[in-house]
Amino acid sequence: MDRSQIIGKNIAEFRKDKALTQEQLGEAVGVTGQAVSKWENGGMPDAYLLPEIAAALGVSVDRLFEIEHKKHIPTSDELLELIGSYGFDRLSANDGEAVFKLIFEMIFRLNYSAFKCENCRSVWDIIDEHDGVFLTSQLIRDEGMTYVSLVKDMPYICVTKDAPGLIGRLLGEKGYCELFGLLSDPDGLKAAIFTQSEYAKGGAKYTAERLAEEMEIQPEKFSELLPLLLKFQFLREEQIIVDESEFRTYFILQNNEFRPLLMTAWLLINSQQRYYAYCQTRETRFLEGRKE
């Protein structure tokens, strides 16, 4: 591989690691996105631009040309420290988008490394290239499983560890019937979604009658749903005593478990079994009782 190919490959790799588009890198060094594309496909940048390119990518010029000393592979502790420092710096700069993209990219690459592929493409390039196509990356092993949604506008990650006794606890949980019963009822689902969409208003107190009216649910039906809405933390009840009379008001709660549940259900409903990377090495079924 000649020097122009080496530097082109490295510019592309470091740019993606920084979550930069070709246009953004070009703007940082005073050229067009087309110029960056040309470099990444084998063209050589002008020599006077090399320090600026290296600075924009957060590397040395020597590293662009792969003429540094022996590559240092960080330990897991070093890697975690670097990730923590990056996240702290970016969040301090109010760049939460960069932190999210890094988290998503790292999990995808760790997932993909199980396929023993050294040249994993950026997850964002894959998502953009397959816009409108239902794609996932899945790794299924006896230790657990990962699920990465590569659906545009629906980036989603699920990592589950198959700890001892987990399946027994899941299958023995009677609350599933109550939760799924609530969400399978059109009014119950409407009420649950209402609480999450209205939460941003914050701090408001409602009577049961007012909530039923806001949710467009008949009062009698709302009374039936109320115990489950309280049990699953969509609402919180407060008792107030005025002139020896007791009144009950309700706060809307942000249920952070509900959003991933909706996303998982959406992916299940729309699944077309399209995989970008899929590996199944598991011998035991997940939903199968086993002796501990």
DSSP 8-state symbol, 139? E
Angle at 245 between CA 240 and CA 246, to 5 degrees: 40
Tens digits of per-residue pLDDT, 216-265? 999 999 999 999 999 999 999 988 777 777 888 998 888 889 989 999 99
Q: Tell me the two tokens of residue 155.
A: 């980036």
Q: Tell me the two tokens of residue 285.
A: 């079924």
Q: What's the chain's length in residues?
A: 292
Domains of the chain (ranges; CATH) run 3-64 (1.10.260.40), 175-252 (1.10.10.10)
Q: What is the pTM of this model?
A: 0.64
Distance CA 57, CA 134 (A): 32
Mean pLDDT, all residues of the chain: 85
Tens digits of per-residue pLDDT, 271-289? 877 888 888 888 877 766 5
Phi-psi region at 21: left, alpha or beta (left = phi > 0; alpha = psi -120 to 50): beta
Residue ranges of the alpha helices (H) in the chain?
Answer: 3-17, 22-29, 33-40, 50-57, 61-64, 76-92, 96-113, 123-129, 166-171, 175-184, 186-198, 208-215, 219-231, 258-270
